[in-house]
Amino acid sequence: MADARSIARNGLDSLLSAGAHKAQCRATLAARHEMNLELGEITLLRTTFDTSVRLTAIRDYKKGSSSINKSDAASIQQAAHEVLAIADASAPDEAYDIAERQPTKEFSTGHDSPDLDKMHVRIKEFLGEVESRYPQVRIMQSYVDFTRQSECFVNSNGVDFVSNNGVYHCVFMFSSKEGDKVSSFNYTGCSLRDLEKDFLDSALLDTLLRQSVEQIYARPLQGKFVGDVVITPQCFMDVLYFLTESISDSALIGETSIYKDKLNAQIANPILTVHSRPVSDEICDGYFVTRDGYAAENSTIIDKGILNTFLLSLYGSRKTGLKRSVNDGEAFVIEPGKTMFDDMVKSVEKGVLLSRFSGGSPADNGDFSGVAKNSYLIEKGKIAYPITEAMISGNMADLLMDITNVSAERTDFGFAVLPYVAASGITVSGK
Amino acid sequence: MQENRTTRISFVKGHNVENSRSSDSGVSARAYSNGSWGFASSPELHGDAVKSVIESATQNALFLDSRENKGRGPLPGVACNSENDFSTKKPRLGQKDLLDFAKELDDHIERIYPELASRVVTINCLDMEKTLVTSDGSFSHSMIPRAYVLVLMSVVKDGQPIEFYRPYGGFGQFEDVLTSPDDLFDELEQQYQDLVKKSEGVYPDAGLSTCVLDAELAGILAHEAIGHTVEADMVLGGSVAGDKIAKEVASPLITLIDFANSFDGKLCPVPVFVDDEGTKAEDAVIIEKGILRNYLHNKESAASFGVPPKGNARAFQFSDEPLIRMRNTAILPGKDKLEDMIASIDDGYYLVKPGNGQADSTSEFMFAVTLGYKIKNGKISKAIKDTTISGIAFDVLRTVTMVSENTHWTSSGMCGKKQPIPVGMGGPAIKCKINIGGR
């Protein structure tokens, strides 16, 4: 079978032969080995191979793209002709472009192949531990996989990047049941370089399983108040997704972003610093090449509360006249604070420890509302009891400004490194 | 063997930010050995690749069986045959035709509604074509398409962006669903008027409230709140529905069915005739006049519960294993008129359009509301801002006191559960008590 570089080269040559003035091709070969877990058993071993060839052409400032999952010459040639037809159908736009030439480079991280026996042993150990420590817990719709990906990005300006990575991924979903009482399901996941560490010690899993058992006897929240929220590392990703959406192409080109005039302005409390570090040792599941074909670099998105960069693509940059981002975002690393989690809780008079937010996508202006799942009431500096039927509402932009604390402890998810974050001014309503 | 074909075209404020097509095809095999499953897939479709995939799936099942030793017997299966190709009979439109369609809509919106701060027009088409053979003797070939134009309008009010999004389209290829941009102009006018009202909207009062959920919200209620809770893997995982078969879980006004492919003599938005395990798809009655009757099953869970499977095992891509999924889930219509339902409320809300939603093992659900109004003294009052509603599904359904006589189906979103998959959701309007988020 052809390697990613020869497939990508073939794609690029086909696009140029078909008449592209500028062209790029990203070819990806992926092999995935996955074990599925359901109710204390390994139910399925899954092996999938896939190919992705993404072809993009620009002719007369018109652009078209197509992706196929075949790598033979005839399929690529046919797809290249289709891409040119798609491009010809579009309206011209001088902002369409491809990445400039950069030094050819090959990146590599992780293992080449999975250790299936070890994967099986680790899962059995995990299931055994869960059964003995938390007999009420039911693991469902969970999996552990190893994905090996080889990718090549080439374009007609001479960009030629190859990246190879092999990473384990774990996703665990669970609820707990005793008699006819059941807890809300919860989930967590992480990326791992290897299988040296117990799954229970990853991604706050042990804590979440313990809490799942406690939550069998969650009580409906009564009344309504405005208070503090202590957001778990996993749950804070929802805030980061809102931020990312608001500073990316669509929101900035469409001029719907509340941050469109906020570059170099304060958008969060100065105790918050958010990095995107796709090529850092802290992140085992990052990326080396951006979607536009630039070698990815680390960046600081929020520096002590100041918005330091937008996440604009090459096209977004040309359309808005603003600087292109040096990466595609994600791979978030938040600087730790100075307060331990327990002390953060002690400083809360009345609030909620928010472990999972089940709510509608925030509006463009940042307004959000939803259910506080797997969460706890905090009263007078103590975690009181697990709650159910509790809704929270507020505004994401306000929440970032109203951050009161960032924990010293951080959780390493492999794809992100995040602390607990506390904020004030959240409306909490129960029955 | 399966091929998913997509077309995506998007204009953001007149800028053509996406213009692409994709095709993902390949072959997969699933093998069963004494209670352990093996699965394998490959994008290659030639004979050797197919043979290799079958061997690999078998080896995976044997690998797991050798370590798990579950010792379970074979699963029952009944052969069935089905051929359902819903490709358009009209000449296919090219990319330029679709671009022109989207551009004409975008130009119309820009021209007629200059007050808009922003707009997004997106064409999104998905064709799913698959062929299935099983060792039970089943054979199925299907081509199930859907085509949508998604329109987002945005205004700025008091310095804050307010948006409202609507999908137009449904089951079928683009040529059969969306014939001319003009056909959508009336609906775009309604969308704009709704956005204007929403931009002047107020925050709802947080807490429990009497509401009329219009048909689209009742559909997502049927899907999120009940449908997920009665999927047999959720039930085995501890879902609260686990102890409730033959018990009253809703008002007697509520009958809820997961339709396989047809309702009231017409095709549902996501018709399934044979599922991805080769089981003939039949309607699954979940709640009958308030009584919980059935869960949703694949072959394995059906055998475990001692009931026949109804064809709920579905996979999204060729590289996906089948999971227990809904097809077209709907509450059956009642006898009330929507205006009477609104008139019966002194202080509450009329909630009209949904956003995303999520279920839970406790049956506590939530979904977003993107358009709604206050009801004061039986009359529709001020619009409300985006909000979220939630409740314990079985508690909420017990509070239903009125059900409207109409049924409305939607299918523009994707249901997420390890894999995405298109589903249909339908229903009448219902009057119930529900928790509403606000300030």
pLDDT tens per residue across span A217-276: 999 999 899 999 999 999 999 999 999 999 999 999 999 999 999 999 999 999 999 999
Q: Which of A47, A95, A319 sits opposite B40 (nearest CB)?
A: A47
Whether the CB of B244 is below 8 Å from some CB of chain A: the reply is no
Q: Which two tokens stand for residue B427?
A: 């229903």
Of B67, B361, B385, Cβ closest to residue A367: B385
- Two tokens, residue A165: 């990575």
CA B264 to chain CA mean position, Å: 19
In a mutational test of the B interface, the residue from A86, A222, A292, A318 whose CB has the highest number of chain B CBs within 10 Å is A86
At A1 the pLDDT is: 65
Which residues of chain A register pLDDT less than 50? none
Comparing C-alpha atoms, which of A127, A5, A142 is closest to residue A71? A5
Chain A residues closer than 8 Å to B56 by CB: 47
Residue of B nearest to A395 (CA): B439
pLDDT computed for residue B46 by the predictor: 87
Q: Model ipTM?
A: 0.90
Interface of B with A in 271-330 (CB under 8 A): 319, 321
**Angstrom distance (rounded) from CA A199 to CA A126:** 6
Q: State residue B363's pLDDT score.
A: 87
Q: At B267, which helix (H) or strand (E)? A: strand B266-267
Q: Which residues of B touch A392 (CB under 8 A)?
A: 437
SS3 B370: strand
Amino acid present at B175: E
Give the Cα separation of A264 and A262 in Å (integer).
Answer: 6
The answer to whether B229 and B393 are in contact (CB under 8 A) is yes
- Residue B334 identity (one-letter amino acid): G
**pTM, 2 dp:** 0.92
pLDDT at B160: 85
pLDDT of residue B439: 66
Cα separation values, A267 from A123, A243, A408, B305, Å: 43, 10, 22, 54
| Inter-chain touch A360–B355, beta carbons under 8 Å | yes
Q: In chain B, positions 145-204, which contact chain A (CB-CB < 8 Å)?
A: 154, 160-163
Amino acid at A235: C
Neighboring chain B residues of A70 at a CB cutoff of 8 Å = 25, 43-44
Question: What's the rounded Cα separation, in Å, for the pair B271 and A155?
Answer: 42
SS3 A84: helix
Separation between Cα atoms, residue A124 and residue B64, nearest integer Å: 12
> Which helix (DSSP H) or strand (DSSP E) does residue B16 occupy?
strand B15-33
Judge whether A378 and A352 are in contact, CB under 8 Å: yes
Rounded-to-integer distance, Cα B316 and Cα B134, Å? 18
At B35 the pLDDT is: 95
Answer yes or no: do B56 and A65 touch at CB < 8 A.
Answer: no
Spatial contact of B6 and A69, defined as CB atoms under 8 Å apart: no
In the predicted model, residues of chain B with pLDDT beneath 70 are 438-439
Q: Which residues on A lie below 8 Å from B195 (Cβ)? A: none
- C-beta atoms of A427 and B438 within 8 A: yes
Q: What are phi and psi of B179, to 5 degrees?
A: -85, -35
Enumerate the residues of chain A whose CB falls inside 8 A of the CB of residue B436. Answer: 391
Q: Do A89 and B239 touch (CB under 8 A)?
A: no
